Amino acid sequence: MRILITGAAGFLGSHLCDQLLGDGHEVIGMDNFVTGSPDNIAHLANNEKFSFYKRDVSNYIFVPGKVDAILHFASPASPNPLSKSGYFNLPIQTMKAGALGTHNCLGLARTQDARFLLASTSEIYGDPEVHPQVETYAGNVDPVGTRAVYDEAKRFAESLTMAYHRFHNVNTRIVRIFNTYGPRMDLEDGRALPNLLKQALLGQPLTVYGDGGQTRSFCFVNDLVDGIVKLLYSDEHFPVNIGNPIEMTILQFAETINKITGNKAGITYIDDARSARDPQRRQPDITRAHDILNWVPKVDLEEGIRRTIPFFKQKLGIA
């Protein structure tokens, strides 16, 4: 196939480029580098099956020639309020990528008779009251809260995707992505893994907000990409959770990172507003992914962290 990936220079988009090129497809990357990095796709510069357009998907997009599939991954995703590339500091761009960007990509998919895959998120569940989160759960969200620009952009994108599927018969798919980590992720992302792994590699105490009882589940990027590609190749139109269902507290996670890295600086507990603002539990039910896609994650947490460390050390300038 000839496949367009928006957000191709981002953490997930660049890994998808690698996987789909490896599967023998031709890939067209599109990104405006607001949050993505040219470094993430630099290794593809001489690949004859890869081409790139610097574009903002919130504006009209055009790709010459036939397109067989579109994967819409363009959006700020970092929850770090201190990051210039996080959605707290790019609220309008985040909403536009989810609304106008999705509309433009769906329009292109319709005219090209191409299959369309939307990158949605576990954030659409908000601070969930159902555990683990199953695709039929409608969520517990605040449409005017501090995280709403990202949450509601993705919820709207899902609704628009299903509207195009039902009204225009566009061949759509929706993946709800849970916490993912690995090489090429932004060290200033603001999520637990980059925060804690960076501190550990620098020999600093790991910062845990509140009592560390909040839970997360962590999926290695290779596993996530495998699930997304299987969904692309499938005939499933309704949302599918892709993530690792093994739930652990942030405190357990911090202790695991200190053990793997040999960091002796320990853990520091901080009372901070973000501990109340963050979702307290996050765990995917992946029954649909298993039954429909025959997908389960294969890389355990310790192995995934070990495979991520060299990238972090390179970015931190650590030998």
Tokens of 135: 């695709």
Secondary structure of the chain in HEC code, one letter for each residue:
CEEEEECCCCHHHHHHHHHHHHCCCEEEEEECCCCCCHHHHHHHCCCCCEEEEECCCCCCCCCCCCCCEEEECCCCCECCCCCCCECCCCHHHHHHHHHHHHHHHHHHHHHHCCEEEEEEEHHHHECCCCCCECCCCCCECCCCCCCHHHHHHHHHHHHHHHHHHHHHCCCEEEEEECCEECCCCCCCCCCHHHHHHHHHHCCCCEEEECCCCCEECCEEHHHHHHHHHHHHHCCCCCCEEECCCCCEEHHHHHHHHHHHHCCCCCEEEECCHHHHHCCCCCCECCHHHHHHHCCCCCCCHHHHHHHHHHHHHHHHCCC
Q: How many CB atoms lie within 10 A of CB 214?
A: 19
Annotation says 150 is catalytic: yes
Q: Which of 87, 125, 150, 209 is catalytic?
A: 150
Tokens of 1: 């196939």
Tokens of 319: 């030998």
Measured over all CA atoms, what is the biggest interatomic distance in the chain, rounded to whole angstroms?
Answer: 58
CA neighbor of 67 nearest in space, from 26, 21, 104: 26
Q: Cα(201)–Cα(183) distance, rounded to whole angstroms?
A: 15
CB 157 within 8 A of CB 121: no
Tokens of 11: 């953490």
Residues tagged active-site = 150
